[in-house]
């Protein structure tokens, strides 16, 4: 289980998995997820690239040294990825993020264009208002407190609701139930709360690197119309729209997803 220790002001232990060899590609998971979302993807792309898949603090096996109001913010995750690259001596890399991870990936391309050669976001909100109502409510500390006050009910809700997130509802439910067991109350509401407040509409206009946006028509987490906002703000961005997929195209249409991502990284 590879891990590294970061330094203040963003000190903590970052758990990550790596596979393959070649040019580096970073993979970032979404809210309530972990590096494991990317296991099939990094194993396939590891034949051509050196892949890194990290756990954000408060998710999976990664933990900040001190938990405070800044520990699990989207901006903190951006700083975390930046320090991760410095610690491992990765001067530049392509970056791929799903959902919240895609918002972090785009933020890296905005704030650290010298480190990012390509950026891909998958089902990611450019404007946090595109999150569905339940996710917006989850960013409320009172809602999070209630969820953690009755953990069996939270797990039951996620187990049922997650069955509508992907074609293979059982696989999605099993994955969600497993990963949420690593999540703390603070990371639960802080991360989604700041994601809800994030609006990159103007900032993404600064992106100059090749960009890919992947969105599913059946997405019930993030409004797939965000693809229009990304294209309007980043005219050179490529957009892939999956008419038979939801929030997780890597699970719903894995072969098509992998081909589209491979073509983008190779182009």
Q: Where are the domains of the chain?
A: 3-130+199-266
Grouping H, G, I as helix, E, B as strand and the rest as coil, residue 244 is: coil
173 touches 71 (CB < 8 A): no
| pLDDT computed for residue 9 by the predictor | 81
Q: What is d(CA 96, CA 117) in angstroms, rounded to the nearest whole number? A: 11
CATH topology of domain 3-130+199-266: Rossmann fold (3.40.50)
Which is it for the CA torsion 146, 76, 119, 49, positive or negative? negative
Paired with 215 in beta bridges are 241
What tens-digit pLDDT sequence spans the chain (267 residues)?
699 998 888 889 999 999 999 999 999 999 989 999 999 999 999 989 999 999 999 999 999 998 887 889 999 999 999 999 999 999 999 999 999 999 999 999 999 999 999 999 999 999 999 998 877 777 677 776 666 676 666 666 666 666 667 777 777 777 777 777 777 777 877 888 899 999 999 999 999 999 999 999 999 999 999 999 999 999 999 999 999 999 999 999 999 999 999 999 998
Q: Which distant-in-sequence residues (6+ apart) come within 8 Å of 54 by Cβ?
A: 14, 15, 16, 26, 27, 28, 35, 62, 81, 84
Global confidence as pTM: 0.92
| pLDDT computed for residue 70 by the predictor | 85
What are phi and psi for residue 64, nearest 5 degrees?
-75, 155
């Amino acid at each position: 289980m590879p891990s590294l220790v970061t330094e203040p002001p963003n000190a903590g232990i970052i758990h990550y998995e790596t596979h393959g060899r070649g040019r580096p590609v970073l993979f970032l998971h979404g809210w309530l997820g972990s590096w494991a979302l990317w296991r099939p993807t990094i194993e396939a792309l590891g034949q051509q690239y050196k892949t890194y898949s990290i756990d954000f603090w408060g998710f999976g096996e990664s933990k900040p040294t001190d938990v405070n109001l800044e520990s699990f913010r989207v901006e903190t995750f951006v700083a975390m990825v930046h320090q991760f690259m410095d610690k491992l001596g990765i001067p530049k890399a392509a970056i791929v993020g799903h959902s919240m991870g895609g918002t972090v990936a785009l933020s890296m391309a905005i704030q650290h264009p010298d480190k990012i050669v390509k950026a891909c976001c998958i089902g990611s909100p450019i404007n946090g208002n595109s999150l569905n109502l339940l996710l917006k409510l989850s960013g409320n500390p009172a809602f999070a407190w209630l969820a953690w006050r009755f953990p069996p009910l939270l797990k039951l809700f996620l187990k049922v609701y997650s069955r509508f997130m992907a074609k293979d509802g059982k696989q999605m439910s099993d994955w969600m139930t497993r990963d949420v067991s690593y999540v703390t109350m603070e990371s639960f509401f802080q991360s989604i709360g700041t994601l809800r407040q994030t609006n990159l509409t103007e900032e993404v206009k600064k992106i100059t690197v090749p960009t890919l946006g992947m969105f599913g028509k059946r997405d019930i987490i993030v409004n797939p119309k965000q693809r229009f906002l990304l294209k309007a703000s980043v005219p050179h961005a490529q957009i892939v729209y999956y008419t038979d997929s939801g929030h997780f195209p890597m699970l719903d249409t894995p072969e098509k997803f992998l081909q589209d991502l491979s073509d983008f990284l190779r182009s």
